[in-house]
Amino acid sequence: MADQISVDNLVMILNWSSEPHGSPWVHRQALHFLKEEFLHVMHSPVLHDLSKQYLIQAIRSDFLQVSPRRIGAVQIARQVAVEIARLFRWPQRLPVLM
């Protein structure tokens, strides 16, 4: 299955492999694929189906594959990912009003 990973089936494989009945090895391979094919994923419709957890994990990775001229854009994307993570955690700190 890991050798069949493509941009089109990446989200499905990540979701399946992260389930208790999934495969941790296939999950690692899918994450590796995401990091290697990051720019292709970012420019495909799959981006909208990718969970924020996987997107942030890929952006924060030291093994993200990008060309040297895109390093600045990736550094900005890493900062954006940190801010997105903070933004998603922000409502969790608010008191619940009933």
The domain limits of the chain are: 2-93
For the entire predicted model, the pTM comes to 0.66
In angstroms, the CA 27 to CA 37 distance is 15
What residues contact 14, with CB distance under 8 A and at least 6 apart?
27, 30, 31, 34, 50, 51, 54
What is the per-residue pLDDT for 64?
74
Task: Report pLDDT digits (tens) over 6-60.
Answer: 999 999 999 999 999 999 999 999 999 998 888 888 878 888 888 888 888 887 7
